[in-house]
Structure 1
Amino acid sequence: MTSADKAFAGSIPALYDRHLGPMLFAPYAADLVRRLGAAERVLETAAGTGIVTRALAGALPDAAITATDLNQPMLDLAAQRLDSPRVAWRPANALDLPFEDDGFDAVVCQFGVMFFPDKSAAFAEARRVLKPGGRFLFNAWDRLAENDIAATVHEAVAAFFPDDPPGFMPRAPHGYHDVERIRDDLRAGGFERVEVETVALPGRAPSAADPAIGFCQGSPLRHEIEARDAARLDEVTERVTDAVARRFGSGPIEGRLQAHVVLATA
């Protein structure tokens, strides 16, 4: 994991939200919220552009939600998308949460734990702020090969830079797929009761351009492309669009998503 893997700034948050949100994150947001059940006080870590936050606010009309992220530009966009007196947006590091012990019924994190540099420390913080019996609910992408749209993007970008292929996709978002490692890290963080389910869902987008733009220009993969040849970012994006269209079609596309969904109880 590099510092660039966690850099979501500039135009990245808006492109991420527009092109990747509906395809990758909305389906699993609905899945997480369905599993959560009732809660009065909910903390979300790595809230990003607020896709799960909006789902939580809709499903839990009486809950107080505190949504946090380390990246202020992501939070700024999230706050524009959802203005509610029940939702507080706060910058916070998941490894050092600025909240009291035993303060939340649930902690929720969608596709953020992969980016935590010390996962067991982050899990210990989630455990600390949960009330006894509280739930820590999160998901993490399965291996890249089980996510065929993302794999196609990665292969196309690697083919464009054969001498120095970017490694962001397998290293960061798809780099925390070992279920036993997840269980071990949770135990190290103080959780003994852990349930893991591997969930496959369809990922749909209006066109092949959406994942191409979303990954190449709306994720930290962009930094790796620009580090190799910033002038060719649009060319790489077009090459990836063509690769996705060859595999999934030139109209609306559908591919396989797969992730581990984890429930740990305090």
Structure 2
Amino acid sequence: MAESDKVFAGSIPKFYDTLMVPLIFEVYAADMAERVAASSPGAVLETAAGSGVVTRALAPRLDAGARYVVTDLNQPMLDYAASRQGPDSRIEWRQADALHLPFDAASFDVVCCQFGAMFFPDRIAGYAEARRVLRPGGRFVFNVWDRIEENAFADEVTHAVAAVFPHDPPRFLARTPHGYHDVALIREDLSRAGFTGIAIQTREEVSRSPSAREVATAYCQGTPLRSEIEARDASLLQLATDRAAQAIASRHGEGPVAGKIQAHVIVAAG
């Protein structure tokens, strides 16, 4: 993973939340919120919370006396998430590294993480930290994207942008968000971190947008793919976005568009 893969700053948080979240994240956030709330946990830790899509879905489902600690490595994303959430005395916002959690052992009933594990530089260490802060009988609930070929828009954007930079194609989407999809490897990493009960479900959903242009803008300007494009030639950001929009429209039409998305949902217990 390139260092730029972890940079969600500048205009990226707003583009990410207003475009990427409804495009691909909301449907999985609702699923995660349901899974986490099912056990009526008294204390929940969310890592890699991003712009807060899971937080907004989960908070209304938790008991009035629940403790909910929401963390992210990236302070600009966490600030944006807090601004969207509004006042809630149960929620503590805290900048934290999922690989070095600043919490006591056995502090939480559930640890959840939506589409963050792919960014962990050491996933086994991250999983071990989640297990450390879980109480006996606690659950670690997280999800990761399946391979990019199972996610239509991400695949199409990657190919379109690569054509703009044929000698050095930006590969952020394939490398990081869609780079950790091997179910056998996920099981092995969790086992090495000390988890014994591991359930993995592959969920196919549909990504929808009012237009191909919005999809292209979301991926090219609302993710670290933007940083990769600008590092090559900032003047070509709009061209790359245009080419991505054209590629999506050619396959899905000029009006509202829909494409397949697919992810693995994992529930692990120690």
Which bracket does the TM-score occupy, shorter chain normalised?
over 0.9
Q: 2:133 aligns with which of 123, 129, 136?
A: 129
Asked whether 1:184 is paired with 2:184, we answer: no
User: Which residue does the alignment assign to 1:31?
Assistant: 31
Deviation by residue 1:56-110 (Cα, 9 ceiling, x = unmatched)? 1122242221100000000010000012111111000000000011010100000
User: Which residue does the alignment assign to 1:210?
Assistant: 214
Q: 1:118 aligns with which of 122, 136, 143?
A: 122
C-alpha distance in 1 between matches for 2:151 and 2:80: 27
C-alpha distance in 2 between matches for 1:50 and 1:174: 21
Whether contact under 8 Å (1:66, 1:90) holds in the other structure is yes
| Runs of at least 4 residues off by over 6 Å | none
Structure 2 unaligned regions, length at least 5: none
C-alpha distance in 2 between matches for 1:64 and 1:204: 34
- What one-letter code is carried by the residue in structure 1 that aligns with 2:168? D
C-alpha distance in 2 between matches for 1:147 and 1:138: 18
TM-score by length of 2: 0.97
User: Which residue does the alignment assign to 2:57?
Assistant: 55
Could you tell which deviates more after superposition, 243-252 or 181-190? 243-252
Could you tell which deviates more after superposition, 26-35 or 129-138? 26-35
User: Which residue does the alignment assign to 1:72?
Assistant: 75
SS in 1 for 2:254: coil
TM-score by length of 1: 0.98
**1:204 to partner: Cα distance:** 1.0
Deviation by residue 1:168-194 (Cα, 9 ceiling, x = unmatched)? 111100000000110111011110110
- What one-letter code is carried by the residue in structure 1 that aligns with 2:45? L
Whether contact under 8 Å (2:229, 2:237) holds in the other structure is yes
User: Which residue does the alignment assign to 1:142?
Assistant: 146
Could you tell which deviates more after superposition, 236-245 or 137-146? 236-245
Could you tell which deviates more after superposition, 253-262 or 160-169? 160-169
User: Which residue does the alignment assign to 1:10?
Assistant: 10
C-alpha distance in 2 between matches for 1:61 and 1:251: 42
Q: Could you tell me the percent identity over the aligned residues?
A: 55
Deviation by residue 1:195-218 (Cα, 9 ceiling, x = unmatched)? 001110111112112221111111
- What one-letter code is carried by the residue in structure 2 that aligns with 1:66? V
C-alpha distance in 2 between matches for 1:65 and 1:24: 24
C-alpha distance in 1 between matches for 2:60 and 2:208: 22
C-alpha distance in 1 between matches for 2:85 and 2:177: 25
User: Which residue does the alignment assign to 1:91?
Assistant: 95
Superposition CA RMSD, Å = 0.9
Whether contact under 8 Å (1:20, 1:210) holds in the other structure is no
Structure 1 unaligned regions, length at least 5: none
